[in-house]
Amino acid sequence: MIEYILGHINYWFIIAVMMVGLYTLISRANLIKKLAGLAIFQTAVILFYVSLGKVTGGTVPIVDEAYTLYSNPLPQVLMLTAIVVGVATTALGFALVIRIKEAYNTIEEDAIFTLDQKDHE
C-alpha cells in the first residue's frame, strides 16, 4: 500500500493541487480569487500531462545511438498549446473583471447578485 502511494507520489500531489484550485474556484466570492483558482486547476492538468510523459531512467528525447530509452516529448508539446489556452482564458477573465468593476463598482459575487436583484425589481 505504502509502495503504491509512494510510487505514484507525483499524481497524489497533482490531485492535491487540482483540488486546491477547484475548491478556491467554488468557495471564493471574489472574482479575482475565482480566476486564481481556475488557473491553479489548469496548472494541475498541465503537471499531470507532463508527468505522464516521464519514463523512469529515460533521457531527453534526442536521436543518438547511445540512448534508446527516452521520455515521451509529445505531452510536453501538447501542454505548450494548453498553456497558451490557459493564458488566454485568464487574460480574458481579468478583462471581464475590469469591465465588471467599472459597471458594478464591486468584484464580490454576492454584492453583484444583490445589485442584479435590485435591477430586476
Partner 1 sequence: MNEQLTILLVVVPLMIAPITALFKSHTISWILTAIVSFTSLILSFIILFDVIDGSHVIYELGGWRPPWGIEYKIDSLNAFIALIVSAIACLSTIFAWQSVPKEINENNYGLFYAALQLCLLGLLGIALTGDIFNLFVFLEISSLSSYALISMGRSRKALTAAFSYLILGTIGATFFLIGVGFLYAASGSLNIADIATRFSTFADMQLVMTGFIFILLGLGLKAAIFPMHSWLPNAYGHAPSVVSIFLSATATKVSIYVLIRVLFDLYPVAYWQALLLPQILLVLGCVGVIYGSFRAWQQVELKRLLAFSSVAQIGYIIIGISLLNNDGITASVMHLFNHALIKATLFMGAGIILYRTNTTKLSELRGFGGSMPWTFAAIVLAGLSLIGVPGTVGFVTKWYLLSGAIAQGKWIVVVAILAGSVLAIAYVWKIVEAMYFNSKRKMVIQNVKSGDINLAKAPISLSLALWIGAAGCLYFGLYTELPYQSAQSIATALLSSEVAQ
Which residue has cell 435591477?
A: 119
Number of chain positions touching partner 1 (CB under 8 A):
29
* Placement of cell 497558451 in the chain: 84
Q: Could you say whether residue 15 binds partner 1 (CB under 8 A)?
A: no
CA–CA gap between residue 64 and residue 70 (Å, rounded): 11
| Residue 75 touching partner 1 (CB under 8 A) | yes
Spatial separation of the C-alpha atoms in residues 59 and 20, rounded to whole Å: 32
CA 2 to CA 43: how far, in whole Å?
Answer: 27
Q: Judged by CB under 8 A, which stretch of 1-9, 54-62, 63-71, 98-106 contacts partner 1?
A: 98-106
The answer to whether 50 touches 17, Cβ cutoff 8 Å, is: no
Asked whether position 11 contacts partner 1 by CB under 8 A, the answer is no
Residues lying near partner 1 in the complex (CB under 8 A) are found at 22, 25, 31, 34, 38, 41-42, 45, 48-49, 52, 75, 78, 81-82, 85, 88-89, 92-93, 96-97, 99-100, 103-104, 112, 116, 119
